[in-house]
Structure 1
Amino acid sequence: MPHFEDFYANKLRGALGVTDAESVLDLRGTNRPTAEASLKEMLERSRFAKGKTVAIRLDPPPEGGGETLFQPAGRLLLDAKRRGWVERLQTLPAGDGLGFYVALAGKAQREPD
């Protein structure tokens, strides 16, 4: 079986959605400060627990256009990925609406001495 880089292997696996996640963080109907606080709390708590997958749901753009939480939430999640707190980050499939599928890294396992 050939070896694929993670980027291509993830493409072959397909998009993971709300039904694939262990839990859902529904931020639909929340304002930006509340949503950012919820995301930061989720990321901070994940550092001290076992890894898990979370579907983060966001409101679609309002009629006629406008701002959504997609970009600010995405920035927070990308920063967490750079820090090693998030193992996998992708958008939800179109059928699940606007949001992200996130695999949280969880607490690092300590090596026995």
Structure 2
Amino acid sequence: MPHFEDFYAAKLRGSLGVTDAESVLDLRGSNRPTAEASLADMLERSRFGKGKTVAIRLDPPPEGGGETLFQPIGRLLLDAKRKGLVDRLQTLPGGDGLGFYVALSGKAARSSDG
């Protein structure tokens, strides 16, 4: 079996992270309504441009445990995937912290029916 450097092995395993994304939506320090509004705005704007990849960064759980934005943001992203706004959705690798790597679909190609 060939040996790969960690960087290339991670690429083969599909663990795309912050450095692989074209842009970053940093929701660390945001409250839930602000984070959800920022995500909704990003998804809405993505409908009119070309597809791109985005790393969405979230705060880790507070010391001693507690709620994070992981579940509510994850649900919104899954809903966007069902609606065809997101092509690929995965969690960030552990070294990048809590969050998601998202490939936005972008503007749908127009058919030339006519």
Normalised to the residue count of structure 2, the TM-score between the two structures is 0.87
Q: Separation in 2 of the partners of 1:12 and 1:20? A: 13
Q: Separation in 1 of the partners of 2:38 and 2:104? A: 15
Give the deviation of 1:112 after TM superposition.
2.1
Gaps spanning 5+ residues in structure 2: where? 1-10
Q: Where has structure 1 moved over 3 Å in runs of 4 or more?
A: none
AA aligned opposite 1:42: M
Aligned match of 1:110: 110
Secondary structure of 1:68's aligned partner: coil
Give the deviation of 1:13 after TM superposition.
4.0
Structure 1 vs Structure 2 CA RMSD = 1.2
Q: Separation in 2 of the partners of 1:81 and 1:47? A: 13
Number of residues paired by the alignment?
103
AA aligned opposite 1:87: D
- 1:46 matched to 2:46? The reply is yes
Q: Identical aligned pairs, as a percentage?
A: 86
Secondary structure of 1:15's aligned partner: coil
Aligned match of 1:58: 58
Superposed counterparts of 1:23-102, under 5 Å: 23-102=23-102
Give the deviation of 1:43 after TM superposition.
0.5
Gaps spanning 5+ residues in structure 1: where? 1-10
Between 96-105 and 13-22, the greater mean CA deviation after superposition: 13-22
Structure showing greater Rg: 2
Go from structure 1 to structure 2 and tell me whether the alpha carbon gap of 1:109 and 1:34 turns closer, same or farther (over 3 Å shift): same
Q: Separation in 2 of the partners of 1:110 and 1:79? A: 23
Q: Separation in 2 of the partners of 1:57 and 1:21? A: 11
Deviations 1:5-27 (A, max 9, x none): xxxxxx95420000000000000
